[in-house]
């Protein structure tokens, strides 16, 4: 009986080791799939940011009488998102300043 118990214990140990190795391999595969998906998504987001930055730049060229917008140079680098966000914050600040000036002028007129 002790021989059968030792064989059974050895079999259980090997099954446990096989399960752990299988789970480790599965975890590594899942990690690689998630990592490659994140890299692909990051590249697609960067391309979308560049496209949107170029669209904003083209709109600004149309609206400005002469010259090239300063952020057009940043559209081809990795900082396209920073350029886009900066132009959005600038537009918000500019509209707020214009709104204050219009209110001040309105009160002066009355």
Per-residue pLDDT of the chain (110 residues; tens, 9 = 90+): 578 888 898 999 999 999 999 999 999 999 999 999 998 988 888 888 788 777 877 776 776 666 555 556 667 666 666 766 777 777 777 777 777 666 666 655 44
Name the one residue in this structure whose structure tokens are 């299988």: 22
Under 8 Å CB-to-CB from 37, ≥6 apart: which residues? none
The number of folded domains in the chain is 1
Tokens representing 15? Answer: 């099954």
Hey, CA dihedral for 23, 29, 33, 39, is it positive or negative?
positive
pLDDT value at position 69? 56
Domain with 70, as residue range(s), is 2-109
- Residue 82: per-residue pLDDT: 72
CB 80 within 8 Å of CB 49? yes
Which pLDDT value is given to residue 110?
47
User: Can you tell me the distance from the alpha carbon of 39 to that of 82, in angstroms, rounded to the nearest whole number?
Assistant: 19
Confirm whether pTM is higher than 0.85. Answer: no
CB of 51 closer than 8 Å to CB of 76: no
What is the model's pLDDT at position 98?
74
Contact 72, 58 (CB under 8 A): no
């Amino acid at each position: 009986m002790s021989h059968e118990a030792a064989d059974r214990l050895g079999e259980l140990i090997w099954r446990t080791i096989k399960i752990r190795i299988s789970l480790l391999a599965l975890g590594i595969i899942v990690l690689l799939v998630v990592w490659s998906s994140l890299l692909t998504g990051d590249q697609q987001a960067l391309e979308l940011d560049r496209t949107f930055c170029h669209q904003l730049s083209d709109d600004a060229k149309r609206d400005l009488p002469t010259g090239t917008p300063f952020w057009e140079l940043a559209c081809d680098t990795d900082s396209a998102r920073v350029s886009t966000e900066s132009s959005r914050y600038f537009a918000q600040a500019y509209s707020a300043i214009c709104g204050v000036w219009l209110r001040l002028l309105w009160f002066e007129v009355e």
